[in-house]
Structure 1
Amino acid sequence: MMGTPEAKVIKAPETMPDVLNDLEEDYTPDDEAFASMAQNQKSLKTTTAKCKIDIMNPLRPGKKLLVLDLDYTLIDCKALNNPLIEVMRPGLHDFLAVCYDHYDIVIWSQTSWRALEAKVTTIGLLTHPDYKISFVMDISTMFSVMSQRDGKPFKHQVKALDIIWSKFPQYTARNTIHIDDLSRNFAMNPRSGLKIGAFKNGPISRHTDRELYHLARYLVEISKSNDFKELDHKNWKNHRRAN
């Protein structure tokens, strides 16, 4: 893996919280009407007001926005004591380098700031010479919503892209895509989300996992689009099979 010593490992502090226990469960948001519910809009407004985003690298005019989940999307967070090559999804650094030509990149993780900072630093996401991360967001910028799953009330947290859009108006639903292994995380912006297969059991699955290679080709292709709202990201795997 480019720029990654294979013997280097991530040492997670014993008190560091991992991803929340409910990450194993998921559901697919049906439509955008859910985002308009009064309580969800109130929570969005409150969280946006409290959220402070620190820019790490300048936002570039004309670039689209790529929002990436971390755990199980880019890394196997259950293998943190293994060598880095077993923690990182195959092609991670190359994927980010390719996407950086077309997108400003944001990491949004459902973990504490301390855990997030330790992971992105040790993996080398903040110092790689071929790409730059614009900013990172942690669980404090998420909020809980109540939706339906299998006809029953289901409480879960969301990553609302409107928080980013309100602070950086050059980004909208027209030029933003959110990649996550949990579709419920983009329940507030379902048409801007793309669900990727979870990367688990890294020491074994890394030998066959090629998800980031396929995803990179898709993201490069759609970067030519003037309006992401016209795209249906649910069909991205059809693109993968065609390539």
Structure 2
Amino acid sequence: MMDMLSNEEYRICALMDQRAMITMYDPKYGGVFGSKPLQLIWSRYADFYGPHNTIMVDDAKRNFVTSPQNGLKISAFRRGAAGRDADAELAELERYVLAIAELDDFTHLKHKNWKRYLNIK
């Protein structure tokens, strides 16, 4: 565990786990599944957060089916994957987030192309 909730280096404003998920149905994702509704954060903290300044990073695309424009899919981390450096993708993700941090509006970005944005791979 990265001690994210008590480490002062992290600035987490909201944390959503599986208890916040809503049940969805889409044959594309195998039928019934849970999805994380960013709208919960946006409605509770509307003065600060909305589709214009929110990114959900996840390895399962279905988790942001309710707000696909705000989803950024990363590779799943599998312990012991031969030849794979999981920290490399996190470092690349950090570069992307820092590169767009000063933008007022993320809605025009296509996060699925985040690596191309930085000319990665």
Q: Report the TM-score range of the alignment, normalised by the length of the smaller protein.
A: 0.7 to 0.9
When normalised by structure 2's length, the TM-score is 0.85
1:166 maps onto 2:43 in alignment: yes
Q: CA deviation at 1:206?
A: 8.2
Cα distance per residue 1:79-131 (max 9 Å; x no partner): xxxxxxxxxxxxxxxxxxxxxxxxxxxxxxxxxxxxxxxxxxx5321222322
Letter in 2 for 1:228: F
Q: CA deviation at 1:242?
A: 4.2
Cα distance per residue 1:189-232 (max 9 Å; x no partner): 0000000011112x455862211000000001111222111111
Paired residues in the alignment total 119
1:123 maps onto 2:6 in alignment: no
Root-mean-square deviation over aligned CA pairs: 2.2
Letter in 2 for 1:164: I
Check conservation: 2:59, 2:74, Cα contact below 8 A: yes
Cα distance per residue 1:28-55 (max 9 Å; x no partner): xxxxxxxxxxxxxxxxxxxxxxxxxxxx
1:233 corresponds, among 91, 111, 120, to 111
CA distance in 1, matches of 2:113, 2:16: 27
CA distance in 1, matches of 2:69, 2:112: 9
Identity of aligned residues (%): 34
Q: Which runs of 5+ in 1 are unaligned?
A: 1-121
1:222 maps onto 2:100 in alignment: yes
More helix per residue: 1 or 2?
Answer: 1
CA distance in 2, matches of 1:207, 1:184: 24
For 1:16-31, what aligned pairs fall within 5 Å after superposition? none
Q: Which runs of 5+ in 2 are unaligned?
A: none
1:193 maps onto 2:71 in alignment: yes
Q: Label 1:206 to 1:164 Cα distance change in 2 as closer, same or farther (>3 A).
A: farther
Cα distance per residue 1:133-191 (max 9 Å; x no partner): 334232221111111318xx611110010011010002110011110000110000000
Structure whose alpha-carbon radius of gyration is higher:
1
CA distance in 1, matches of 2:106, 2:8: 29
Per mean C-alpha deviation after superposition, the further-off stretch among 175-184 and 218-227 is 218-227
Counterpart of 2:25? 146
1:157 corresponds, among 34, 43, 54, to 34
1:212 maps onto 2:96 in alignment: no
Check conservation: 1:199, 1:205, Cα contact below 8 A: no
Check conservation: 2:36, 2:66, Cα contact below 8 A: yes
CA distance in 1, matches of 2:23, 2:84: 36
CA distance in 2, matches of 1:192, 1:230: 10
When normalised by structure 1's length, the TM-score is 0.45
CA distance in 1, matches of 2:120, 2:83: 22
